[in-house]
């Protein structure tokens, strides 16, 4: 009897921890980004703030474009994880192991 009670608490803790991670990471990322920022605008901003020459600005432009491409990829992964968790929560039986494995697999 106590073993069953311990398991349910453990599963509940895993679900809560997973949800906390899934909610905290996007909020942190959302707080650190500007929705209107483009790779070109980010390069211009860095050039202005750091006082870079045109040559230096041209060197960092491909790096900035790669970062923005990676950011879009991470946003798609985040959306997929959120959709999976939402569908699990809407089902009558939420499987803590499946939610945890999908979070760990995507990250």
Which tens digits make up the pLDDT trace of 3-12?
Answer: 565 566 677 7
Separation of alpha carbons 93 and 11, rounded Å? 12
pTM (predicted TM-score): 0.47
In terms of Cβ atoms closer than 10 Å to its own Cβ (0-12, 13-18, 19+), residue 66 is: exposed
Q: What is the pLDDT of residue 94?
A: 63
- Domain chopping of the chain, boundaries: 2-106
Higher pLDDT, 50 or 30: 50
Give how far Cα 43 sits from Cα of 16, 22, 71, 73, 79, Å. 39, 30, 15, 20, 27
Length of the chain: 107
pLDDT at residue 106 greater than cutoff 70: no
């Amino acid at each position: 009897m106590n073993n069953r009670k311990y398991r349910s608490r453990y599963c509940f803790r895993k679900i809560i921890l997973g949800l906390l991670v899934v909610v905290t990471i996007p909020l942190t990322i959302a707080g650190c980004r500007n929705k209107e920022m483009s790779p070109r605008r980010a390069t211009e901003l860095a050039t202005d703030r750091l006082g870079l020459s045109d040559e230096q600005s041209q060197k960092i432009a491909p790096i900035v474009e790669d970062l923005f491409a990676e950011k879009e990829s991470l946003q798609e992964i985040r959306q997929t994880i959120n959709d999976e968790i939402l569908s699990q929560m809407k089902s009558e039986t939420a499987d803590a192991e499946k939610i945890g494995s999908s979070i760990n697999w995507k990250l």
